[in-house]
Structures are given as C-alpha cells and as structure tokens.
Amino acid sequence: MERPGHLRPMVYHTKRASEVIALKYLTLFIMILSCSIFSMGIFISGGYSLLENAGWSFGLGFSERNFEALGYLSFDLNKEISGSASPVDLYDFKFTTSMNFDVGNLKFGPLFVAHYDNYPEEGSTDTSWSADFGLGVVSQFARENFDLSVGLWMPVSGNFDAKRNVYARFRYYIPPPGGRSFKDKLFLEVTYLFGGIRIGFGLWEPVP
C-alpha cells in the first residue's frame, strides 16, 4: 500500500508551478494595460501562421516612440489529431515587448518574449498547456515605409535553440493612393518567433 506521504511533494510542486505561472501572466496583463494607457498608436491585424503551430491569427499591439508591445493569437479549431479520440481546439498566444534607444541610424534595446499554447508536439496527442518566456536584445531599423526588427533571446529555463530563439519582424506600410496623407496606416507584416512564421495584414491607428 502506497503511503500518503509520497504524494505530498508532487502536490506541493504542482501548486507552486501554478502560482508561478499565474504571477507571470498577471505581470503580462499589467504590462499590456500600461501600454494601452500610454501608447501613441494601436496595431490591429489578421493573418495566418505557418510552420510551427499553424492556424489563423489575430494580432493586437501598442506602440510609442521607443516602445512596442505586440500580441498574437493563432488558433486551429476542431483539429483532427492522429491518435486522438476526438477533434480539439488549439490555441497559441505569443507576446513580445521591446524598448529601443537611438544609436546612429539603428535602435537597440531589451526584448521580452512569451509563449503560451496547447499545440501538441509532432507525433504526440498531448494538448496540455505549456508556457515559455525569454529575455534578449533587439535591433530596429526603420526607413520611410519599411520597418525591420531582429533580435536574439534566451529562455528563462532551458537551453538556447537557434531555431526558436531568433526574433524577426518585417513591416511594410502601404502608401496611400494618389499621394494622399492619412493618419492611420495600412501595413503588411511578416514575423518569425518561436520557430513559426506569421504573415499578417493590418492597420496602425494613432491614439488621439
């Protein structure tokens, strides 16, 4: 007969892990709320994610002169997984925030990334939720209608993986027709993060 005492360490560690994850996402919520209050512009976009965790995607972000926070939600509903008894709904949330300081024609600064999803690994049927966080550096180059950011980050736990720990975002602002000038801007965007590529089309709207 198994002694009850053997179960206590497992229960304690599970509870402790849940508390840590809850605290991290409370911090994320505060960061997003702060961005919305002090931002100069809002990004809204729709698109599709490729490679890792493929699916339709919705994006929302906030920007200030030297600060940007972006969140992407990708999903694949009623997904048939080989070996699974029934279809499942898969969700993938990615979040990045960066602060840039002018250095000549470039900008450099810290980068924070987060990933929370229930997509199974290749060949697996496990759709339990998992989280990943990292800190790194990012460089940004912007000229006329082009905006490029490239960065590297290290996971809070785990080892560096060149495939997953590279961040890149390219954004092209579509010029208004007929030489007109508008405050809001349409844009095309390609983002590489956590081993996945997202292609999106959206609108940047200045905050009054």
Summarised one tens digit per residue, pLDDT across range 51-72 is 888 889 999 888 877 788 888 9
Residues 139 and 107: beta-carbon distance below 8 Å: yes
Q: Are 137 and 151 in contact (CB under 8 A)?
A: yes
Confidence of residue 172 (pLDDT cuts 50, 70, 90): very high
SS3 sequence, 2-67?
CCHHHHHHHHHHHHHHHHHHHHHHHHHHHHHHHHHHHCCEEEEEEEEEEECCCEEEEEEEEEECCE
Q: Quick count: other Cβ atoms within 10 Å of Cβ 12?
A: 10
Please identify which residue in the block is written with the tokens 């979040």. 95
Are 87 and 46 contacting, i.e. CB atoms less than 8 angstroms apart? no
Residue 20 pLDDT > 90: no
Rounded percentage of the chain residues whose pLDDT exceeds 90? 18
173-197 pLDDT, tens per residue?
Answer: 988 877 677 777 899 999 998 888 9
pLDDT exceeds 80 at position 93: yes
Using CA atoms, how far residue 167 sits from 114, 192, 194, 195, 197, in Å, is 12, 6, 8, 9, 10
